[in-house]
């Protein structure tokens, strides 16, 4: 391949005019990744495909893999449904289920509008965790055009015989709370809501390491959570379980804050998760940002995409060596350079083109892999917390700084380690059907991950995956420059 200076996308800012300001650079990168994503998805026709995992040596092998031979497989599974985990790919297959009513920061994108994200989840599961996954975007609307959580619940129950686990994704609140809680109780396979549990896991991991760098304890910090959706409510739950004092948490929603006198949540049973937090956090019923941010040690924002959602003057009120996580996608609630200028000591976002990416991608592939390998029947909060500490420890052992508190997706050694730690936690809690050692889980997860990497490399080298050149990248960036100038 020629002209490949920019193929890795590591130095695309070199293509920008030297006179561009920090704000123009930030806007250019955001727009570039959007334009690049659209072009590449069209170029490749999506990003996932299905390939055989068993050989076909000649014509008669079709009689083994299909009829008449496969009849023996069907009747064996009929007589013992659990044998489906040994006689099919079910033990390594995840359904990524979404009604696409809250896709990233773009809201309701119609059912098929979520396919780009759900295919992305499937790609990350396979490449990072060695897990096979299928995107299933469904229409959950009722006759009035409103999303119906019961339709999602019924759909998942119907398809669960084909899968080893379910990953819920991009379901709007309050429906997401009911869907997760009901399915966790009533399904025979683990159900994971990555927007909630996954985001909570990686955020907790990042906070753990950030606190190490600033010399503060989890039990002593004051926390502002900006946004009261599935992500931040789950973050609050995991933080409290891991040692944060709920009385030192103030959570903002789109209108005010959560507190005991918030009748909107008290009188609406659909928001039972928020009402539970109203009863244990913010005992002084603080409602104004200026009071909430004063002397706060940690801000975790998962709300409206910015860059003007979080005000610099609020960050200026925070405690010394403040920790600011602004993780809205596709644009953080405030750009990192603005947060730094306002006094933030450590700044993290959900994006990989800024320092300290806090992204679910470093947790969900390995959590699901560890869960599947020991046939766990659920993924508990303590399994997610175990994963958070495993991720934090991995980063600390290889070295952390104020601009590098988290592992990234290229540090492949992380994923089998987290898988093994999660699997052992599942065994400890009695939710696993298989009793494997840490090393057995680690080695199997590592093999599946490395095999995927090698297969992908062969497909690239042999050009079964079509190559691209720098010409495409430069052309897209030139279009971006024209729009930003």
Residues in CB range of 334: below 8 A, 6 or more apart: 301, 306, 307, 308, 309, 310, 311, 312, 315, 324, 326, 342
Residue closest to 339 by CA, chosen among 318, 364, 365: 318
CA distance 322 to 302: 17
Catalytic residue among 27, 121, 216, 417: 121
Residue 474 in contact with residue 6, Cβ under 8 Å? yes
Residue 205 in contact with residue 406, Cβ under 8 Å? yes
CA end-to-end distance (rounded Å), the chain: 32
Rg of the Cα trace of the chain?
Answer: 23
Residue 66: other Cβ atoms inside 10 A: 10
What is 246-315 written as a DSSP string? GGGEEEE-SSSB--TT-HHHHT-GGGHHHHHHHTTS-TT----HHHHHTT-SEEEE-SS--SSSS-HHHH
Collapsed DSSP state (helix, strand, coil) of residue 147: strand
- Is 57 one of the catalytic residues? no
Catalytic residue among 66, 428, 447, 483: 66
CA distance 276 to 181: 14
- Is 483 one of the catalytic residues? no
CA distance 213 to 158: 47
Catalytic residues: 66, 121
């Amino acid at each position: 391949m020629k002209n490949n200076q920019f193929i890795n996308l590591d130095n695309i800012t070199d293509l920008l005019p030297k006179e561009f300001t920090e704000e123009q650079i930030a806007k250019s990168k955001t727009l570039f990744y959007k334009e690049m994503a659209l072009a590449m998805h069209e170029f490749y026709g999506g990003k996932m495909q299905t390939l055989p995992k068993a050989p076909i040596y000649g014509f008669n092998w079709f009689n083994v893999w299909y009829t008449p031979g496969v009849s023996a497989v069907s009747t064996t599974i009929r007589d013992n449904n659990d044998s489906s985990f040994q006689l099919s790919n079910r033990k390594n297959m995840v359904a990524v289920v979404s009604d696409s009513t809250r896709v990233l920061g773009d809201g309701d994108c119609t059912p098929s509008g979520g396919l780009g994200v759900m295919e992305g989840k499937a790609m990350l599961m396979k490449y990072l965790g060695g897990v096979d996954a299928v995107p299933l975007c469904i229409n959950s609307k009722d006759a009035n055009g409103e999303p119906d959580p019961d339709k999602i619940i019924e759909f998942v129950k119907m398809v669960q015989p084909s899968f080893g686990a379910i990953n819920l994704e991009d379901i709007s609140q309050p429906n997401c709370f009911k869907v997760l809680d009901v399915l966790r109780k009533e399904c025979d396979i683990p159900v994971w809501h990555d927007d909630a549990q996954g985001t909570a896991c990686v955020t907790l991991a990042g906070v753990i390491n950030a606190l190490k760098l600033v010399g503060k304890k989890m039990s002593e910090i004051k926390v502002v959570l900006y946004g009261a959706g599935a992500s931040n409510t789950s973050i609050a739950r995991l933080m409290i379980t891991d040692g944060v004092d709920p009385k030192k948490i103030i959570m903002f929603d789109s209108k005010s804050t959560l507190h005991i006198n918030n009748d909107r949540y008290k009188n609406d049973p659909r928001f039972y998760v928020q009402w539970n937090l109203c009863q244990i956090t913010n005992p002084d019923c603080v409602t104004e940002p200026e009071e909430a941010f004063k002397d706060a040690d940690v801000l975790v924002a998962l709300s409206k995409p910015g860059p003007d959602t979080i005000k610099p003057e609020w960050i200026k009120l925070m405690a010394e060596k403040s920790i600011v996580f602004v993780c809205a996608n596709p644009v953080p609630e405030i750009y990192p350079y603005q947060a730094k200028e306002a006094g933030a000591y450590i700044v993290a976002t959900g994006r990989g083109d800024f320092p300290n990416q806090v992204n679910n991608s470093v947790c969900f592939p390995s959590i699901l892999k560890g869960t599947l390998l020991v046939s766990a029947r659920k993924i508990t909060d303590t399994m997610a917390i175990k994963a958070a500490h495993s991720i934090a420890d991995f980063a600390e052992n290889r070295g952390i700084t104020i601009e590098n508190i988290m592992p990234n997706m290229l540090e492949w050694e992380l994923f089998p380690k987290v898988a093994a730690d999660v699997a052992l936690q599942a065994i400890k809690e009695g939710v696993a059907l298989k009793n494997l050692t840490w090393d057995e889980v680690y080695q199997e997860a590592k093999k599946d991950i490395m095999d995927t990497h090698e297969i992908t490399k062969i497909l690239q080298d042999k050009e079964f995956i079509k190559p691209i050149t720098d010409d495409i990248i430069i052309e897209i960036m030139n279009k971006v420059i024209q729009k930003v100038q």
